[in-house]
Every structure is written in C-alpha cells, then in structure tokens.
C-alpha cells in the first residue's frame, strides 16, 4: 500500500473511531435516556456524570480517552509496518482526526462533545509527560473550582506550557506539525467551552458535586454493579496493555546480526550527545552539553549501566577521547564567554578523578581524537570559522598526551572553512575533517606528526553538507549529511562520493567490523538505530531497531554512537530525553 493511501486510511479510521458516541450509548444502556435531551445536552462525560452519577462520568471518560489514545499510538505503527516508511507527521494527524471525530461525529450529524477526554488520550500518546502534568492540573483545578469546563481549559494550558518547555525548538522540521496542532487544539478547546465561560461569568454554570453525586435517573434496579464492572474491566485491560507495552524488548536482524536493547538509563539531565567506551568496554562516558556534565558509567557483566560519577564541568563538553587509563573531555566556555575565552581539555582517570589543570586549545573547539598508541591528541578548532576575521585560522593541532606540548598543526584557510567533525584512520596515518560552509572533506596525511600535510580537499555534492565523519577498515570515509540525504561514502581522497539514501536523515555512524562489514546509524527522526550492510547501495536493506523512552511510549532522538569491540555493545545517546541505551550485537541464526 502506498504511503499516501495509508495516511488517508489511518486518518479516516481515527476519525470514525473518534466519532463513536460512548456517552450516548452509556446513557441509553444504564439510564434509559437520550443524554442529548437532559442536562446540558452534551454527549460527553461531564453531562453523563451530572445526570447519572460520578461512576458513569469515570466510565465515559475512560472510553473517550481510549478512542483518542489507541488510534494515535497504534495506527502509525500499523502504517509503518504496511509501508516500511516513517510517516513523520502521521501520529499528529491521527490525533487531530480522533479529536475532530468526537467533536463533530458523523454518526450524530456532526454534533458532538467538547473533546476533553479524547484530546487527553490523543496527546498522551504523543507526549505522556505533558499529559500527566495536564491531568494533575485538571484534578487540582477541579477540586478548587468544581467547574469542569474551566478546569479543562486550565489543564490544557498546563499541557501546552509543559510541552513547549520540554522542546528545544518547537518550530524545527520534526516538531512544527505537533506545535501547530497543539496550539490549534487549545484554541478549539476554548471555542467549544465558550458558552460555559459565559455562564461562569454570569454565575449560572453548574458545579460538579464531588461528594454526593446526583442519584441516577430512571436507573433500573440491580444494575448499579454493571458500570462498575465495565469500568474495572477497562482499567484492568488498559493497565495490562500498558504493562505489556512497557516490558516489550525490541530487536532487529541485519544479515547474520541481531541487535537487542539490553539496558536503558536516564542520565538525570535533559540531553545526551557524545559517547566513549573506556577500558575495553568496562566503562562508558556520556556528555550532556546543555548542563555541562559528563556521566561516567560502569558497564556491568550483565550488560547493564551503573552510574559511577556525574562530573560537573565549567563549560560545554563537545567531544570525548580516551587512552588505556585516561578520559579526555574537550570543553567550550558557556554562553557569550565562548567568543572571548579559549576552550580547553580536561583529563580524568577511569574513576572520574581530575588529573591536572586545564589545557587551553584555542577558540571554538569542535572535536577530538586520540592516536591509536595513545601518545598524541588531535584537537580541531574553528577559530575565525565561527568568529571575526581577526581570529586565528581554523586548524587541527597535535599535542603530546603526557607533556601537552604542541608537535604539529595544519590550518584550513579556504573561504567558508568551518570545521565540524574529525575522524582518524585505524592505523593513525590519516585524518579527515568535515568542513561546513565550504562543504568539503579535508584528507590529511599524518605520517609525520610534526608536519601534517593536506592530501586533498574533496568537494561534497551540491546541497549536501558533511557533519559526523568516520574512517572504515578499508581507509574510506563515511560522512553523515547534515541535511536529510543520508550517508555518503568516499573510498579515497579523489574518488567520487557515493550516497546511501536514508529517509529522514541520520545523526551519527559507526562501522561494525566483521564479515560482512556493517554500518550502524542513528535515526534521530525515527526514534531508533539502523543497521546497513556496508556493500548495500540502497536503504531497502536498512534494519531498524526502535529505541523508546519511558514505558516504551515516548519517542527518542538518538544522536551519538559508540561501539565496543570487546563487549559487542553499541551505546546510543538520546538527545531529546537525556537517556543512554545499550544495544547488544549478536551473531548466528536468529528469529526477527
């Protein structure tokens, strides 16, 4: 099925499910009345509760909640399974369709409810944290005011505030649909309650009685237990489904490899970006640049993660490197200080203890690499690539590890040169630097560290900007396109780059050595990582392992990668939630 038909079908199904008038059905079954003819005439949970009692409010609220939550959560998963494509905005479109179905149901000539419960269910599938805050706010406001309408609007404002507070850039490509929908739904919520607001101002809006619910009208004798039984059944099924979903373990198969998530930890900070395995995979370091932290973990024998030390820095960590007994952190000054103060290197032992003073490395440090023998550090700085023309040239500087003495340097003086990332060949004889602005990759000969030499500048194809960059075992360069074209590969300095298109773009890439060679990539807009055979020229061979947030409900934005050959573990940094994930790489025949 095509992506277009799947999208239209999912939206239509969500609308039809949202249109189911549970309030009307519950009132007819248990009260023998048409809820549209009594009370406010609304088919929602509030009017049903006023007429039949609080237990019926709970029942209708749960049913209306589920008809928003279930389509929003599962229809995009079904669409992905049918098309093999990530339909980025489909969850938002499905949520809006379900809410519009409740507000304007086709079965009732488009005259429906206010959409509070269905809206909460839909947005809970999109942002559980903001929805939890909204539900708590609604309950608090209801206890204080006893006006359901006012509490609903105030709860909606809580959701809006918490959601936008947690999003770095709500108008970015992957967030704009959600942002527009959130504001639009808030406006619809206010419009649908406008008469209630007028009545509140006039003092004629009825309040809900939380202590003594109004006796049911026309309630048949002996049937009071039925709504309680249904409500308990719905709650039990919902809780069971939630528990099963939260305990699910995802896996993916690519050729002889199976990848399975084995550990997930929250760093306690908002972001995680760069990663580095230490001591043959027994330690893992992760950065949080927003709060200037480096988290050092012990990787347990059972492939778990235990926090060893949370290091507070005086600036923003931008890169990590390591030797057998040391961890190096490249740091930029915070805020405006970065324009006038040089960045620095900090050194720690494997227990997180500082090993001496800062080593100043120049303005705007970008990336760091350690030579295979551990004797030299390579530091990439942008200089005037990010500042004024009076700044020093962007350059790659080589230091001795123990003495911190500069042994070599090479500058990048072409117009627009702004270094981004640095890669070092496995034998340490070559380096590659991605140059944004001039859209090129610089190949550097390191045979003589005292005189590093530019081998070639490879101009990248028009419209593509190289960012994260790695060498493969054969000496070629893998480069991530900063846009969404995918993964570029250049076998040698003067070879023509070839592309492996990957829909939605990628954040980082690593090579998994073995037979066959495989590349692992992060999928920041697809909430997962992908495995791609190195010889593949098409994205059809991409095997995707989903990486989810808390309770397997929240999405993630995987960015940084690290691989431990000793442990067969891939570490993944989640930029949007600050979590770190461990993925085990297994070989042999497996069942997907």
What's the pLDDT tens digit per position in 237-253? 555 555 566 667 788 88
Q: Is pLDDT at 236 greater than 60 in this prediction?
A: no
Q: Is 338 helix (H, G, I), strand (E, B) or coil?
A: helix
Please enumerate in sequence order all residues whose Cβ is within 8 A of that of 296, keeping only pairs 6 or more positions apart, or say none.
Answer: 283, 284, 285, 307, 308, 309, 310, 311, 327, 348, 351, 352
Contact 140, 165 (CB under 8 A): no
* Strand 569-574 relative to strand 579-587, pairing: antiparallel
Domains of the chain (ranges, CATH numbers): 3-247 (no CATH), 251-587 (2.130.10.10)
Q: Is pLDDT at 164 greater than 50 in this prediction?
A: yes
Nearest to 133 by CA among 150, 116, 120, 144: 120
Contact 121, 68 (CB under 8 A): yes
What's the pLDDT tens digit per position in 252-295?
888 778 889 998 888 888 789 999 999 999 999 999 998 899 99
Phi, psi (rounded to 5 degrees) for 523: -120, 85
Nearest to 275 by CA among 248, 230, 305: 305
Cα distances (Å, whole numbers) of residue 509 to 100, 113, 512: 41, 49, 10
As a whole number of angstroms, the longest Cα–Cα distance in the chain is 94
Distance CA 241, CA 261 (A): 21
Question: What is the length of the chain?
Answer: 592
- Helix (H) or strand (E) holding 93, with range, is helix 90-103
Contact 187, 153 (CB under 8 A): no
| pLDDT-based confidence at residue 358 (cuts at 50, 70, 90) | very high
Neighbours of 273 (CB within 10 A): 21
> Which residue has better confidence, 223 or 21?
21
pLDDT at 390 (0 to 100): 82
Query: What average pLDDT does range 133-142 have in this prediction?
Result: 84
Distance CA 116, CA 126 (A): 15
What's the pLDDT tens digit per position in 543-584?
889 998 766 767 888 999 999 999 999 999 998 878 899 999
Contact 96, 185 (CB under 8 A): yes
pTM (two decimals)? 0.64
């Amino acid at each position: 099925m095509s992506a277009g038909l799947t999208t239209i079908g999912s939206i239509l199904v969500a609308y039809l499910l949202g249109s189911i008038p549970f309030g009307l059905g519950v009132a007819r079954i248990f009260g023998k009345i048409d809820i549209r003819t009594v009370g406010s005439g609304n088919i929602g949970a509030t009017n049903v509760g006023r007429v039949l009692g609080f237990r019926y409010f709970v029942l209708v609220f749960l049913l209306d909640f589920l008809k928003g939550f279930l389509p929003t959560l599962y229809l995009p998963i079904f669409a992905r399974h049918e098309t093999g494509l990530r339909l980025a905005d489909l969850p938002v479109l499905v949520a809006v369709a379900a809410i519009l179905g409740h507000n304007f149901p086709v079965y009732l000539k488009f005259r429906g409810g206010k959409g509070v419960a269905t809206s909460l269910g839909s947005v809970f599938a999109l942002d559980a944290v903001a929805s939890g805050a909204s539900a708590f706010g609604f309950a608090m406001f209801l206890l204080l005011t006893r006006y359901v309408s006012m509490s609903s609007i105030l709860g909606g404002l809580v959701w809006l505030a918490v959601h936008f507070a947690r999003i770095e850039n709500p108008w970015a490509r992957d967030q704009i649909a959600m942002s527009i929908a959130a504001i639009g739904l808030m406006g619809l919520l206010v419009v649908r309650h406008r008469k209630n607001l007028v009545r509140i101002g006039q003092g004629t809006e009825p309040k809900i009685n939380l202590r003594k619910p109004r006796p049911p009208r026309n309630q048949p004798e002996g049937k009071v237990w039925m709504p309680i039984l249904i409500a308990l059944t719905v709650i039990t099924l919902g809780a069971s489904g939630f528990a099963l979903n939260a305990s699910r373990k995802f896996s993916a198969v690519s050729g002889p490899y199976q990848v399975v998530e084995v550990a997930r930890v929250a760093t306690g900070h908002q972001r995680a970006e760069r990663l580095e395995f230490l001591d043959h995979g027994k330690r893992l370091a992760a950065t949080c640049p927003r709060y200037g932290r480096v988290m050092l973990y012990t990787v347990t024998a059972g492939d778990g993660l235990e926090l060893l030390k949370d290091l507070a820095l005086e600036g923003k960590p931008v890169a990590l490197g390591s030797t057998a007994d040391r961890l190096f952190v490249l740091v930029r000054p915070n805020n405006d200080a970065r324009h006038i103060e040089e960045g620095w290197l900090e050194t720690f032992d494997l227990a997180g203890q500082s090993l001496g003073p800062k080593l100043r490395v120049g303005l705007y440090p970008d990336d760091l690499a350690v030579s295979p023998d551990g004797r030299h550090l390579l530091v990439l700085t942008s200089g005037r690539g990010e500042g004024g023309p009076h700044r020093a040239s962007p350059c790659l500087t080589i230091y001795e590890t123990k003495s911190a003495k500069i042994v070599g340097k090479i500058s990048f003086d072409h117009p627009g040169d702004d270094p981004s990332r640095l890669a070092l060949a496995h034998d340490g004889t070559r380096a590659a630097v991605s140059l944004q602005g001039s859209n090129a990759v610089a190949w550097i000969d390191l045979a003589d560290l005292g005189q590093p030499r530019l081998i070639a500048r490879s101009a990248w194809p028009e419209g593509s900007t190289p960012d994260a960059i790695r060498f493969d075992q054969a000496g070629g360069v893998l480069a991530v396109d900063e846009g969404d074209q995918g993964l570029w590969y250049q076998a040698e300095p003067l070879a023509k780059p070839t592309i492996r298109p990957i829909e939605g773009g990628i954040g980082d890439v690593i090579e998994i050595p073995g037979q066959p060679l495989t590349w692992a990539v992060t999928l920041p807009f697809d909430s997962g990582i992908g495995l791609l055979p190195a010889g593949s020229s098409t994205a059809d061979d991409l095997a995707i392992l989903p990486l989810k947030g808390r309770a397997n409900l929240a999405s993630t934005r995987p960015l940084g990668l690290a691989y431990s050959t000793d442990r067969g573990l891939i570490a993944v940094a989640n930029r949007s939630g600050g979590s770190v994930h461990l993925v085990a790489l297994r070989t042999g025949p497996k069942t997907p």
